[in-house]
Amino acid sequence: MITLNHYLILSGCLFAIGMYGIITRRNALLILLSVELLFNAANLSFVAYARYLGDLTGQVFVFFTMVVAACEVAIGLAVAILLFRTRETLNTDEINTLKW
């Protein structure tokens, strides 16, 4: 029997993996990819709740999340391109002009 908890644990795992990706990856693009994992963990959680609550709002929320994610990715990629243009690297380790 698959319960809500299964889905929640799964989404938790996804979220954790995404978080780990953001912390450890150095390529700006891959960090953005990890962010997508975060969003989708939340999406999964929403949909699972929607299913077990018998309420469609969760699914609607996911719809909005996707739009937002799309926008963020669009901007994110644009900034990544700019970054590459100005510094010829996407390595976030090297992007530390602004500090202290």
Partner 1 sequence: MNLAGFCSLLPEALVIALMFVVFAADLFLPSIKKRLGGLTAWGLTAILACLLWQGFLAGGQKFGETFQGTFLCDPMALFFKALFILTGIIVVILAREFLKKADKNPGEFYLLILSALLGMLFLASANDFILLFVSVELVTVSFYVMTAYLKTDQRSVEAGIKYLILGALSSGMMLYGISFIYGHTGSTHFDAVRGALFGMTSAPPLLLLGILLLIAGLGFKAGAVPFQLWIPDVYEGAPIPVTAFLSVGSKMAGFAALLRICVSVIAPFDKKWALLMAVIAAMTLVYGNLGAIPQKNIKRFFGYSGIGHAGYLLTAIAAGGFSGARGVLFYLLSYAVTMLAAFLVVVYCSVHLESDDMSAYDGLSRRSPLLAGALFLSLLSLAGVPPLSGFFAKFLVLSSAVEKGLIWLAVLGALNVVISLYYYLTLVKRMYIHPPAGGVIAVPLSFQIPLYLLMLGIVGIGVVQGPFVRLAASAVSGFF
Partner 2 sequence: MLALGWLILFLPLMACLVIAGTTLKHEKISAWIACGALSLSFIFSIILFAVLAAQGFPTLQSTVTILPLEHLRLEFGVLIDRLSLIMLLVVTGIGSGIFFYSMGYMKEDKGYSRYFASLSLFAFSMLGIVVSTNFFQTFIFWELVGVSSYLLIGHWYQKDEAADAGKKAFITTRVGDVGFLIGILFLSSLSATLGKQTLDFQALSELLGHPAGHEFILTAICLLVFCGVLGKSAQFPLHVWLPDAMEGPTPVSALIHAATMVAAGVYLLARVYFLFILSPTALSVIAGIGAFTALIAATMALVQPDIKKILAYSTLSQLGYMVMAAGLGSSSAAMYHLVTHAFFKALLFLGAGSVIHALHTQNILEMGGLFRKMPVTAWTFLIGFLALAGVYPLSGFWSKDEILTLAFTVNRPLFWIGAGTAFLTAFYMGRLFFTVFLSEPKWKKEPHESPRVMTTPLLLLAFFAATGGFFGLGTFLHSHYDQAIAWNFSVVAGSLTLSLVAILLSYLIYALDIPLLKPFEKPFSPVAGLLIKKYYMDDLYDVLVKYVQQNFAGLCDLFERVVVVKGMVNGTAQLTGWAGDRLRCLQTGKVQFYAFAFSAGVTLITLFWIVLR
Partner 3 sequence: MNEAFFFYLFSGLTLLAALYVVFTKNPTYAVLSLVAAMFSLAILFVLLHAYFIAVVHVLVYAGAILVLFLFVVMLLGVGREEPASKSQRLYRIFGGFVVVGFLLEIGLIIKAVSSSAQESPTILAGTIEAVGKLLFTEYFLPFEITSVLLLVGIVGAVVLSRREQMPAEGQYLPGKAAEGGRSKQV
Residues that bind partner 1 (CB under 8 A): 4, 8, 11, 15, 18-19, 22, 28, 31-32, 35, 38-39, 41-42, 45-46, 48-49, 52-53, 55, 57-58, 60-61, 64-65, 68, 71-72, 75-76, 78-80, 82-83, 85-87, 92, 95, 97-100
What CA–CA distance (Å, rounded) separates 56 from 78? 34
* Binding at 9: pick from partner 2, partner 3, partner 1, none (beta carbon under 5-8 Å per type): partner 3
- Minimal distance in Å, beta carbon 1 to partner 3? 7
Give strand pairing partners of 27: 91
Which tokens hold the place of 42?
């939340």
Backbone angles phi, psi at 54, to 5 degrees: 70, 40
- By CB under 8 A, is residue 59 in contact with partner 3? yes
Distance between alpha carbon 67 and the CA centroid of its chain, in Å? 13
**Contact (Cβ atoms closer than 8 angstroms) between residue 25 and residue 31:** yes
CB of 56 to partner 2, least distance (A): 29
